[in-house]
Structure 1
Amino acid sequence: MVERLRRSFLYTPGDSPEMMAKAADAGADAVTVDLEDAVRPEDKPQARENLRAVRETADFGETELSVRVNEFGTDHWTADLDAAVAAGVDTVTLPMVETPRAVEETVAALDDLTDDPPELVLLLESPAGVFAGREIAEAAAGLPRVTGLSFGVGDYARATGGEPTSTRVREFLSHRIVGFAAIGRLQPVSSVYPDPTDLDALREVAARAAEVGFVGQSVIHPRQVPVVNEVFTPDPEAVATARTHVEAYDASDRGAFVHEGTFLDEALVERYRRLVARADAIAAADH
């Protein structure tokens, strides 16, 4: 499966058709309609109808359309999956994942609903989920429709009593999520930064996430989209250098050597290949 371009995941509440429609034009790589935390229990049935309606009326073009359903095993989980499939979304985002069973049964439920099920992005948001991350990732590795992994700073901090804006809390979670994503062969997407007015802080958080291996970040406001898109777009000079290294390595019959002052071997060149592929995908999307 070709990896999706997921620099920015823009969340929009399912109980606001106007905001859902505007999100389609925000320039995000992906839009996630939230049927969970952003919607009161009594409003969830209407939010599901809103999802179906916006799919028919708004033009998402190449933008990935995701829906965050309610937690596995809750009263709303099955109805949310039904609505997601009926709307023909690209991806289901499953929150509060704490066991491999939650992933496996969600995949099975989607398979039962349609011959062409959406992909699945997992959210580890509780201590139970984070500390079961390896088992969850290992289960996901055998499920091709599971393609992404993210986390929730706010819910984790609420459970532990930590500060949700703490750099230490975010870094603790970030390194684990990136590692779990590698085990499960999933795309790691960083968690939201909660202050939509502080774009400088957002840029710093996104840059640290990119540095440790995240491919993108979730956002809660359209004004955050250009910042994270820019941060997670590879620097053109770095891409040009990577191309020369890949070309030199492919043209050589040696497994390791120095090219223009840079040591190359298969592991290092693989990183350059991913960088080039990512830049090419972004260029194709922008055109």
Structure 2
Amino acid sequence: MERLRRTMLFMPGNNPSMLQNSGILGADSIILDLEDAVSITEKDSARILVRNAVKNIDFYDTELVVRVNPLSSDFGMEDVDVIGRAKPDVLMIPKATEEDIEMVCEILTKIEEEEGFEKGSIKLFPLIETAYGVENVYSIIQSSTRIIGILLGAEDLTADLSIKRTREGKEIFYARSKIATACRACKVDAIDTPFADMDDLEGFVADIQTAKSLGLTGKAAINPRQVDTIHEVFAPSKEEITHAQRVIYAMEEAKKEGKGVFSLDGKMVDAPIITRAQNTIIKAKLAGLI
């Protein structure tokens, strides 16, 4: 785990003032959006604006992601070429397929050679928002070593399935679970779909908790006001941190005594509990909690 991706905050690619300030909003990653946030008549001007923002604005420690248009559209391929040469941290690919990822990788490899960038330095984040994408998410991840995570897009997915998107989210339980499992198997991040109702704090918190309980590692946000809440839910609690520290201490003491097995609070501690404790400590350190 090199960095936290608890939050990925979408910002419209056609709004200069929002682009200017996006690096100070507290999100782990910022997604400069050239797709849904931009009308067809503004696609070309937004691309230029985002390219200049990537090259000239200081985003500080925030990971910089650009969501391009679908490769099947009139804008996607040019987005990849123009934005790729500005060298963002990550490109996000909508409605991703294995073929899309392979095509983008060919373009990026050429760009990196021509621009003198380090090979493989521009990473990829496929957006899974179709039934095909859900069923093939593992092979999509495996299609490129550039891939560092997956983002679930529930609005487009439920439209593709011809079903209703609900507050409770039962209709995306399968997609969430499959993406979380595939990402864990491939050791990449699994980012949950945004929650659209800004006035429903109770529903928002419950939605984050559900995503976390299924193994998703972060959540997309559509408003800066959502960032702190997501961070709070995904952060290890004080109790979890304290217990993890006690597990690690007990493990180290057992090693000193030559014990292969040990107990804590009357319960045997095995490898999965130790691994969970180690992961908790890593997350807490990255979040600045210890």
Answer whether TM exceeds 0.5 for this pair. Answer: yes
Task: Give the whole-Å Cα distance in 2 for the aligned partners of 1:110 and 1:122.
Answer: 15
The yes-or-no answer on 1:189 pairing with 2:188 is no
What's 2:153 paired with? 152
- After TM superposition, give the deviation of residue 135 of structure 1 in Å: 2.0
What's 1:260 paired with? 265
Kept in 1: contact 2:85–2:111 (CA 8 A): no
Kept in 2: contact 1:65–1:91 (CA 8 A): yes
For normalisation by structure 1, the TM-score amounts to 0.90
Kept in 2: contact 1:199–1:227 (CA 8 A): no
Task: Give the whole-Å Cα distance in 2 for the aligned partners of 1:187 and 1:211.
Answer: 15
Moved more, 197-206 or 107-116: 107-116
- After TM superposition, give the deviation of residue 121 of structure 1 in Å: 1.1
2:288 aligned counterpart, secondary structure: helix
What's 2:143 paired with? 139
Task: Give the whole-Å Cα distance in 2 for the aligned partners of 1:266 and 1:215.
Answer: 21
Task: Give the whole-Å Cα distance in 1 for the aligned partners of 2:60 and 2:238.
Answer: 26
Q: Cα deviation per residue 1:158-195 (whole Å; 9 max; x = unaligned)?
A: 11121222521232221111011012221111110011
Task: Give the whole-Å Cα distance in 2 for the aligned partners of 1:4 and 1:58.
Answer: 21
Give runs of aligned pairs for residues 45-64 of structure 1, distance below 5 A. Answer: 45-56=44-55, 58-64=57-63
Task: Give the whole-Å Cα distance in 1 for the aligned partners of 2:29 and 2:277.
Answer: 25
- After TM superposition, give the deviation of residue 276 of structure 1 in Å: 0.7
| Aligned residue pair count | 280
Kept in 2: contact 1:137–1:183 (CA 8 A): no
What's 1:283 paired with? 288
What's 2:227 paired with? 225
Task: Give the whole-Å Cα distance in 1 for the aligned partners of 2:160 and 2:92.
Answer: 21
Task: Give the whole-Å Cα distance in 2 for the aligned partners of 1:211 and 1:255.
Answer: 31
Task: Give the whole-Å Cα distance in 2 for the aligned partners of 1:280 and 1:123.
Answer: 29
Amino acid at match of 1:156: L
Q: 2:105 aligns with which of 66, 88, 107?
A: 107
Task: Give the whole-Å Cα distance in 1 for the aligned partners of 2:143 and 2:253.
Answer: 38
What's 2:162 paired with? 161
For normalisation by structure 2, the TM-score amounts to 0.89
Kept in 2: contact 1:119–1:146 (CA 8 A): yes
What's 1:74 paired with? 73
- After TM superposition, give the deviation of residue 259 of structure 1 in Å: 1.6
What's 1:86 paired with? 85
Task: Give the whole-Å Cα distance in 1 for the aligned partners of 2:77 and 2:253.
Answer: 53
Give runs of aligned pairs for residues 177-216 of structure 1, distance below 5 A. Answer: 177-216=179-218
Task: Give the whole-Å Cα distance in 1 for the aligned partners of 2:192 and 2:14.
Answer: 24
What's 1:21 paired with? 20
- After TM superposition, give the deviation of residue 240 of structure 1 in Å: 1.9
1:66 aligned counterpart, secondary structure: strand
Q: Cα deviation per residue 1:200-253 (whole Å; 9 max; x = unaligned)?
A: 211111111112222210010111111111111111221121022123224434
- Structure 1 34/270 Cα, relative in aligned 2: closer, same or farther at 3 Å? same
2:143 aligned counterpart, secondary structure: helix
2:199 aligned counterpart, secondary structure: coil
Kept in 1: contact 2:209–2:233 (CA 8 A): yes
**Which structure: larger Rg?**
2
Amino acid at match of 2:181: G
- Structure 1 205/262 Cα, relative in aligned 2: closer, same or farther at 3 Å? farther
Q: Cα deviation per residue 1:53-109 (whole Å; 9 max; x = unaligned)?
A: 3235543110111001122343322221223223331111111013x2322332232
Kept in 2: contact 1:51–1:83 (CA 8 A): no
What's 1:248 paired with? 250
Moved more, 46-55 or 225-234: 46-55
Task: Give the whole-Å Cα distance in 2 for the aligned partners of 1:103 and 1:250.
Answer: 44
Task: Give the whole-Å Cα distance in 2 for the aligned partners of 1:77 and 1:251.
Answer: 56
The yes-or-no answer on 1:173 pairing with 2:172 is no
